Structure 1
Amino acid sequence: MENQPFTVQRLLQLPLFKGVKVIAGSSGLSKEIFYVDFMETPTLTGFLRPNELILTTGYSIRHEPAMLGRLLDEMHRVGGAAVGIKTKRFLHEVPQEALQKSDLYGIPLFDIPLEITYVDMTHTVIDQILSRQAYLLREVREVNQQFTNLVLNRRTTELVVLIGHLLGCEAAVLNEHGEVESCTSRFGGTAFVEKRPVQVGSKVMGYLAISRKLGDQETFEEMCLDHAITVLAIDFTIRQSQQLHREREQESFLVELFSGSSHQEDLLRYRAQQLGISLGRYFYTMVLQPRIGGEQGGGEQPHARLYNLLVQRVNKPGNHTRKGVFINDSLIILVSTAHDSEEKQRADAEQLLRELMAPAEELPPQARMCAGIGGLREKLSDVPDSRLEAHKALSIGTYTLPKQEIVHFHEVLVEDLLLDAAGHPVLNALTSMLIEPLVAYDLEYGTELLATLSAFLRLGGNTKRVAEELFIHRNSVLYRLERINEIIQNDLTDPEVRFRLDVAIRVWKTKDIDSKSMR
């Protein structure tokens, strides 16, 4: 019988309690008994416990029988089990109010014959309670062993099924965002009645959801649920540790890949597959740099949280086509793709920037992101070349295309070539003859001739578009172009002159770029 709850009903079926008579509260005979105590003092509060059986001779309330009603009030408050009283010893008659409260609360009130001694009752009741508790502990220990074995063998789905079987309901494990990770076959998504948090320290790692609420008398089920939550905390800890280890391995791989220290294509592809990095037809690199208040966000301690947030968003679970790592204040991202178009690269970069800059507490309101995109490569071993191109696109674009957040290397090919020839006498002569006079004029008179010339050349000589971009009247553009003709003494309508001016202005814009910083 130890596998059955020790209820008030079972108590009254024991041979010792054969002559006991239930005088009220028979609806509560199914209540389980966990404790037993005697009350022979008038104190009614502070010592009562849930599921406790109270035995008394009525001595402490012989002069004030109404106190029995107050005892039932207190037992109802704490969830007591039953009251046994030797009515023929001191009380003789149970107050009607106590009988009514016993029926109302479902707390059985029974009359104990005078010949049953306290010693016999104590021995019998405690023996039953201990027998039941010993059985529960054996069962729970066995269940806990099964739970632990399933967790250590990474069989979480079987663990959830076992939990559901023991509790007689549907069950599911949810992650910290409330998303179902594993569940029983009939678990209905959000149709759960109770959700218990699974904590590691003070951090909630996930939840155990069940489709019914456990009753007050379901002690074994409640103990199983507590143990399930404990082993699930172990499971979440193991998974977190594995994820951190995997992230460190991915970071090491990416640093090695971008540095170009390994050139064995087969080995690179094998390691990428082992780390869950997608292998598409093409690869390319994006280099991103956060700007805080218009400046590059590197070198300052407060930006560490921003960097961590950005890396987490790039490497979010389930995304295998891109993986990123911070190196020298730049977020360098490896992208795997099946597309070979520059337009697709740019569209992906725009989408990524929107995701990265989505509002968050860790993200300063004045923060923005700039990105450089390298060319496509078919081999992982060629990715370092794409990384170098992305760095160049970002660095050169900062000077030549300052209004663009995203710059592709193909947009700055000419500037890259000119940087390799920096300091060449011909280039110096071009800037000296065609650009420096305009710069000097702008400084002296506060004009914007150089900016007008730059827009004029970039927009193919379309003066209407130049006016719109500079927010001035078209006549003002024509006047400025005349002044430029006079200062440099060249005809802007001559294609050869335009070509030389275009080269010269590109050289001028890149004169402050340190080419070594892009290596």
Structure 2
Amino acid sequence: MGGGLLGLTVRDVIQLPVLETSKIKSGKRYLDLKKIDWISVIEVPVENFVRKNEFVLSTGIGCEDDPILLERFVKDVIEAGASVLAFATGRYIYDIPERVIQLASHYDFVILEIPWEVRFGDILHSVLEEITNDKRWERQQAEGVRQELIDCVLQEKGLQDISNILYKRIKIPNAIIDFSGSTRANSHFNRNLLNIMSGKIEGQHQQIPQLDLFTDHPLSHYMEEFMVDHHMCFQLTISSNHNKQGYLLIQPKERQELTWFVMNVLEHALTACALYFVKENAIEMTEVRLRDNFILNLTKNNTEVTNQLISKGQLLGYDLTRPYICIVGEIKKDSDLNKTKRKDRPPTSSLQSMNYYIQKEITKAGDVLHRRTMASFEEGEVVIFLEADHQPYMETANQFLDLVEKRLNDLLSDITLSWGIATHKDGHYAFFDSFKEAKTALEIGKQESGYGGRTFFSDTRINRLLMTLSEEKEIESIVKDTIQPLIDYDQKRKADLIYTFIVYNKYKGNVSQTARALNLHRQSLLHRLRNIESLTQLSLVDSDDLFLLELSVRLWMLKKNNDKQ
């Protein structure tokens, strides 16, 4: 008897020889749906002595002359979650009142009538033996499932195989999604609900605050219940090393399906899924390291692109004969930039995990645009080579980075990415040369706009000219002589004459616009401008003097930003 997904049922118990003379007074339609985990003898009062899924025996003593009290007793047993109440009739209760039977029927509750001569001791012995046998069968079956699931992972099978085994064993639709929301396996799970749960489409998606399962299995405390477009489904988190890897979703028709046996099987399935993800991540991280080293060698060591190197790249899935846009990114944690962390996102635990997620999104963005990608990571820097074609390289790079950043904003909680981009270079050192240009663009972009922007090498000609000029000793001396009086004045008086000039020059000498931008009275601004002329001995209305002062300020700002790096 027993052995079904629900475990030991009321029907299994009443078919025991010791209960062959019993009569079903109510709830006959629910004999196969009511599970029995324990048996006890209870009399008035019930209090907290009855447990869920319990087979309750009673003589009705104390209620024989009080049908209202008997009705209250039955209702208390029902509310305690018992599966069946069996009255021994013939001594204290001769006939179960019709109002009691109607009450039980209203609650779909099973009431049995047992002849007085059937001893409770015999019933207890027989039912307890059946419960023990059923628990033993459940343990054996659960152990078999556990071994089958683990073997599935060890034998190089995938998540779909795990999902198939799970459905075969518990007959409940299920699905597995990874942390990024991608569906990795599905066995009869409603696809529309799955798309809503994974965030691919919109729909009514409400989490139920309290679980009221038909089991007290420990796993139930970690199970989240949702109503999705009026359908019930449950979610369990797949974790390994305290990191979330994904989710196991199940879609039972009713909560009664979540028996102790089913929960045990789900627990083993979670372990198998976690083991699979750990294995998958380890393989992917090994491949990432090999590719990292290859790309780093291309960019950092002035490596010549030879036939041998092209062949080595092919082994890693790279085609070095094609043109590539070089994109260099710098990863900064928002905490380093004194920014407020965004909520409701997974914490970025390490640089390694950030690299893992970024690599995933780089690959996905390349797939969407049907372009090859190569990427590497080193100490907070990401180097990407994106396949180029006849389209303008700026347009291609922006499309690609838009896709990458859109996903990363959702996946990583506390990072800011700055990008430098350079077009493909010809020659035997193409990758090294384009990397140098992208790196230069990145550094100029950070100096000009701070962190979080995109800078194209072709837009940095003025800055590169200034950088070259700043390295000349004679020019450095001219800049110092020109601007030092302003620096000393600003430091001594806590003024900001240099910034005043920058804004004044931005508005091409328009005093009214400059005053508004600086939130100054017109006369206060004129006073500052006279101080600038007096300290530098330059006239702001003379084009040569104005050019010298502007050049000096820009070169000084450039050197100041370089010193901060």
Where does residue 315 of structure 1 map in the other structure?
359
1:150 to 132, 149, 152: 152
Q: Is the 8 A contact 2:295 2:376 kept in 1?
A: yes
SS in 2 for 1:376: coil
AA aligned opposite 1:207: Y
Q: Is the 8 A contact 2:24 2:110 kept in 1?
A: yes
For residues 331-390 of structure 1, what are the alpha-carbon distances to aligned partners after superposition, in whole Å with 9 as ceiling and x for unaligned?
3422222236444466458747964995999459xxx86543344246896433323223
Q: Is the 8 A contact 1:314 1:356 kept in 2?
A: no
Q: CA separation of 1:452/1:127 partners in 2, compared to 1, >3 Å: closer, same or farther?
A: closer
Where does residue 227 of structure 1 map in the other structure?
268
Q: How does 1:91-102 map to 2 (within 5 A)?
A: 91-102=93-104
CA–CA distance in 2 between the matches of 1:75 and 1:395? 75
2:106 to 104, 110, 113: 104
Q: Is the 8 A contact 2:388 2:396 kept in 1?
A: no
Q: Is the 8 A contact 2:53 2:82 kept in 1?
A: yes
SS in 2 for 1:58: coil
Q: CA separation of 1:7/1:122 partners in 2, compared to 1, >3 Å: closer, same or farther?
A: same
Q: How does 1:388-399 map to 2 (within 5 A)?
A: 388-396=436-444
CA–CA distance in 2 between the matches of 1:10 and 1:156? 36
CA–CA distance in 2 between the matches of 1:281 and 1:45? 79
CA–CA distance in 2 between the matches of 1:40 and 1:143? 37
AA aligned opposite 1:28: Y
Pair 1:171-2:166 in alignment: no
Q: CA separation of 1:186/1:253 partners in 2, compared to 1, >3 Å: closer, same or farther?
A: same
CA–CA distance in 2 between the matches of 1:174 and 1:166? 20
CA drift of 1:186 comes to 7.3
SS in 2 for 1:190: helix
Structure 2: stretches of 5+ with no match in the other structure: 195-230, 342-346, 367-372, 490-496, 516-532
Q: CA separation of 1:27/1:400 partners in 2, compared to 1, >3 Å: closer, same or farther?
A: closer
For residues 83-123 of structure 1, what are the alpha-carbon distances to aligned partners after superposition, in whole Å with 9 as ceiling and x for unaligned?
22221123334344422222222332222223322333233
Pair 1:196-2:248 in alignment: no
2:71 to 55, 69, 72: 69
CA–CA distance in 2 between the matches of 1:164 and 1:26? 29
AA aligned opposite 1:259: K
Q: CA separation of 1:454/1:150 partners in 2, compared to 1, >3 Å: closer, same or farther?
A: same
CA drift of 1:137 comes to 2.8
SS in 2 for 1:391: helix
Pair 1:208-2:208 in alignment: no
The TM-score normalised by the length of structure 1 is 0.69
Where does residue 80 of structure 1 map in the other structure?
82
CA drift of 1:487 comes to 7.0
Where does residue 496 of structure 1 map in the other structure?
none
CA–CA distance in 1 between the matches of 2:146 and 2:354? 40
CA–CA distance in 1 between the matches of 2:238 and 2:111? 42
Where does residue 333 of structure 1 map in the other structure?
383
Where does residue 14 of structure 2 map in the other structure?
12
2:187 to 175, 184, 188: 184
Where does residue 409 of structure 1 map in the other structure?
457
Where does residue 284 of structure 1 map in the other structure?
326
Q: CA separation of 1:451/1:88 partners in 2, compared to 1, >3 Å: closer, same or farther?
A: closer
Where does residue 299 of structure 2 map in the other structure?
258
Q: CA separation of 1:50/1:415 partners in 2, compared to 1, >3 Å: closer, same or farther?
A: closer
CA–CA distance in 1 between the matches of 2:12 and 2:448? 89
AA aligned opposite 1:323: A
CA–CA distance in 2 between the matches of 1:268 and 1:469? 61
CA drift of 1:47 comes to 2.5
Q: CA separation of 1:508/1:417 partners in 2, compared to 1, >3 Å: closer, same or farther?
A: closer
Q: CA separation of 1:378/1:113 partners in 2, compared to 1, >3 Å: closer, same or farther?
A: farther
CA drift of 1:48 comes to 1.6
Pair 1:384-2:424 in alignment: no
CA–CA distance in 2 between the matches of 1:260 and 1:380? 13
Q: Which moved more, 1:263-272 or 1:75-84?
A: 263-272
Q: Is the 8 A contact 2:9 2:32 kept in 1?
A: yes
CA drift of 1:224 comes to 3.4
Q: Is the 8 A contact 1:193 1:209 kept in 2?
A: no
1:236 to 274, 277, 280: 277
Q: Is the 8 A contact 2:239 2:245 kept in 1?
A: yes
AA aligned opposite 1:213: K
Q: Cα RMSD (Å) of the superposition?
A: 5.4
Pair 1:138-2:140 in alignment: yes
Identical-residue share of aligned pairs (%): 17
CA drift of 1:197 comes to 1.4
CA–CA distance in 1 between the matches of 2:348 and 2:69? 64
CA drift of 1:44 comes to 0.8
* Aligned residue pair count: 483
CA–CA distance in 2 between the matches of 1:289 and 1:226? 38
AA aligned opposite 1:146: E
Q: CA separation of 1:87/1:350 partners in 2, compared to 1, >3 Å: closer, same or farther?
A: closer
AA aligned opposite 1:159: I
CA–CA distance in 2 between the matches of 1:378 and 1:400? 29
For residues 464-514 of structure 1, what are the alpha-carbon distances to aligned partners after superposition, in whole Å with 9 as ceiling and x for unaligned?
x967999689xxxxxxxxx9xx979xx989xxxxxx989x87995698389
Q: Is the 8 A contact 2:25 2:113 kept in 1?
A: yes
CA–CA distance in 2 between the matches of 1:470 and 1:372? 37
CA–CA distance in 2 between the matches of 1:151 and 1:30? 35
Q: CA separation of 1:362/1:335 partners in 2, compared to 1, >3 Å: closer, same or farther?
A: same
Pair 1:160-2:174 in alignment: no
Where does residue 34 of structure 1 map in the other structure?
36
Where does residue 49 of structure 1 map in the other structure?
51
Q: Which moved more, 1:416-425 or 1:231-240?
A: 416-425
Bigger radius of gyration, 1 or 2?
A: 1
Where does residue 129 of structure 2 map in the other structure?
127
